[in-house]
């Protein structure tokens, strides 16, 4: 028996020995509208009269429980009030809460379903369907401080890992050489090959933090940083890699033509270093450059682009606020911010800075245009492989940055523009997914649904918005 001091009605103890209480006759309110008869054990038997001086729980009136009047300040809060459902049936599924929805008693972060059983709210918040890539962080959990906190977490986590890596590399070099490495202004470990591996690995260490921070800070899946499909689309990445190989061949040819009109005295000293030295450097480059380039894309074209894109300023009022809101709903503020920070991380000057900035801007445009990082990753990885392997064949393991003649910049930008145009054509031709799909509406083959407004604002400002709803991706997403 339940405590008489409890508020609300509590069902009596079940009969002993597995006896089934006799079914009660239904009570009809009128001859025209008979009430159905509940199955056995669907409600308790009436309460026996209590002894003199002892409080008793009132017995429920005949009929369905949800039609009973509510008793107690903390009684059952069903769709229309009433008593809680009785003990579960002997066999079969548990009865669902009224209305099929869980109930909440005001406890933050907890939901209540069934018999007041707490259900923990899921941590991951889905991205609204129809969102383009640059606005995937604009979820129901978005707050103004989350992009800032995530950026600081990536910076501190990445630099802390680089410090740990540097200490470990110093210890290993000391054990191998018998003395601490004599680093200079240009070297860290006193060896060009070791410095090359350390620099590439240090940049690659930012990749896990870029993938973890969206889940930890913004409460969304790490795969939303890869593409609108929620993952890296491998078949599309392989196709973009084939295009990037063509870009490398074209870029090599245009750079050779630019070298014919540029007086470069350093070119006379270049010579083949031999297979022994080249293969050791090539092994390090091929093993680490894909992770280094991918990490930079996830930070500058992934996290930064979506962090800025989440700040849409849609709650601002007034002409100035609305004007800024129109601009910030487009991907261009995120593209420009990521490109400027990407340029600041390099040591080029003059025309070389323009070359790096245009590389970041074109990669950011392709990311939004294709709905993912695959095209930018393929371009960055193949470009860096060529940029490291060719000097390594001539014995130059330290990439010299500084002033770059405008002829080389032009020879580099033209192939990038052609590559971006080919990617945009394939996105249209293959109907690559460029917005978040609605999981409740599976896309049919060849069907192109229209974009869905996000936060009450139409999807605008996306390059090529006339076909942003393609849902027949190459990778089956």
The whole-number pLDDT of residue 59 equals: 52
Residue burial 143-182, b: 16+ Cβ < 10 Å; e: rest: eeebbeebbebbeebbeebbeeeeeebbeebeeeeeeebe
SS3 label, residue 274? coil
- Return the number of other C-beta atoms located less than 10 Å from residue 420's C-beta: 22
Contact 281, 392 (CB under 8 A): yes
pLDDT at 395: 85
Within 10 angstroms of residue 256's Cβ, the number of other Cβ atoms is 10
Question: What are the Cα distances from residue 309, in Å, to 171, 302, 337?
Answer: 43, 11, 11
Which tokens is 43 given? 């409600």
At residue 383, the pLDDT reads 95
**Residue 302 has what DSSP assignment?**
I
User: Within 13 A of 64's CA, how many CA atoms are on the CB side?
Assistant: 11
C-alpha distances (whole Å) from 70 to each of 10, 84, 379 are: 12, 10, 67
Q: What is the pLDDT of residue 377?
A: 98
CA distances to 252, 407, 418, 442, 464 from 247, in Å: 8, 17, 8, 36, 22
pLDDT at 357: 97
In this prediction, residue 122 carries a pLDDT of 87
Cβ neighbours of residue 315 under 8 Å, at least 6 residues apart? none
Residue with token string 């038997």: 45
3-state helix, strand, coil in the chain (%, to 5): 50, 5, 45
Tell how strand 117-120 and strand 110-113 pair up: antiparallel
**What per-residue confidence (pLDDT) applies to 89?**
43
Domain ranges of the chain: 75-88+95-121, 133-467
User: What's the pLDDT at 209?
Assistant: 97
Please, is 455 exposed, middle or buried when counting C-beta atoms within 10 Å of its C-beta (0-12, 13-18, 19+)?
Answer: middle
The CA distance from 361 to 354, in Å, is 10
Distance from the Cα of residue 100 to its chain's centroid: 31
Contacts 24+ apart (CB under 8 A), 44-51: 44/11, 44/12, 44/86, 44/87, 45/12, 45/21, 47/12
Give the model's pLDDT for residue 104. Answer: 40
Q: Which tens digits make up the pLDDT trace of 317-340?
A: 888 888 889 999 999 999 999 999
Q: How many CA atoms lie within 13 A of 349 on its CB side?
A: 3
Kindly report the backbone phi and psi dihedral angles of residue 403, in degrees, each rounded to the nearest multiple of 5, phi listed first: -75, 140
**Is this prediction's pTM over 0.85?**
no
336-362, pLDDT tens digit by residue? 999 999 999 998 999 999 999 999 999
Residue 166 CB partners (closer than 8 Å, separation 6+): 188, 198, 202
Low-confidence ranges of the chain (pLDDT < 70): 1-119, 183-186, 265-269, 441-477
């Amino acid at each position: 028996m339940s405590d008489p001091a409890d508020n609300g009605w509590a069902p009596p103890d079940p009969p002993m020995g597995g006896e089934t209480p006799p079914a009660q006759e239904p009570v009809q309110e009128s001859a025209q509208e008979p009430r159905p008869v509940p199955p056995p054990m669907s409600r308790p038997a009436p309460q026996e009269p209590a002894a003199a001086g002892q409080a008793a729980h009132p017995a429920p009136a005949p009929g369905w429980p949800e039609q009973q009047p509510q008793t107690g300040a903390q009684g059952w809060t069903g769709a229309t009030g009433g008593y809680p459902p009785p003990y579960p049936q002997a066999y079969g599924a548990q009865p669902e809460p009224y209305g099929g929805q869980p109930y909440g008693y005001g406890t933050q972060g907890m939901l209540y379903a069934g018999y007041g059983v707490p259900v923990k709210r899921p941590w991951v918040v889905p991205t609204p369907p129809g969102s383009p890539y640059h606005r995937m962080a604009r979820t129901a959990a978005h707050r103004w401080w989350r992009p800032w906190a995530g950026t600081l977490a990536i910076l501190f986590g990445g630099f802390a890992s680089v410090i740990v890596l540097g200490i470990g590399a110093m210890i290993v070099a000391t054990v191998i050489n018998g003395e601490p490495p004599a680093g200079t202004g240009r070297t860290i470990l006193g060896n060009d090959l070791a410095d090359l591996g350390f620099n590439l690995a240090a940049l690659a260490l930012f990749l896990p933090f870029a993938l973890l921070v969206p889940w930890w800070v913004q409460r969304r899946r790490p795969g939303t940083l890869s593409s609108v499909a929620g993952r890296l689309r491998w078949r599309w990445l392989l196709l973009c890699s084939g295009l990037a190989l063509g870009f490398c061949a074209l870029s090599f040819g245009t750079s050779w033509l630019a070298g014919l009109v540029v007086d470069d005295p350093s070119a006379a000293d270049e010579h083949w270093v031999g297979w022994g030295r080249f293969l050791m450097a090539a092994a390090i480059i091929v093993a680490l450059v894909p992770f280094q380039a991918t990490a930079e894309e996830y930070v500058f074209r992934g996290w930064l682009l979506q962090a800025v894109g989440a700040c849409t300023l849609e709650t601002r009022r007034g002409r100035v606020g609305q004007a800024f809101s129109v601009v910030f709903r487009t991907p261009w503020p995120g593209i420009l911010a990521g490109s400027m920070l990407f340029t600041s991380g390099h040591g080029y000057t003059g025309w070389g800075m323009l070359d790096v900035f245009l590389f970041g801007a074109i990669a950011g445009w392709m990311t939004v245009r294709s709905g993912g990082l695959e095209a930018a990753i393929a371009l960055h990885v193949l470009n860096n492989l060529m940029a490291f392997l060719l000097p390594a064949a001539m014995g130059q393991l330290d990439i010299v940055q500084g002033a770059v003649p405008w002829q080389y910049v032009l020879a580099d930008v033209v192939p990038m523009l052609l590559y971006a145009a080919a990617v945009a054509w394939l996105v249209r031709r293959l109907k690559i997914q460029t917005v978040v799909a609605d999981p409740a509406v599976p896309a049919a083959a060849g069907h192109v649904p229209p974009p869905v407004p996000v936060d009450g604002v139409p999807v605008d400002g996306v390059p090529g918005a006339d076909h942003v709803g393609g849902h027949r991706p190459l990778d089956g997403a």
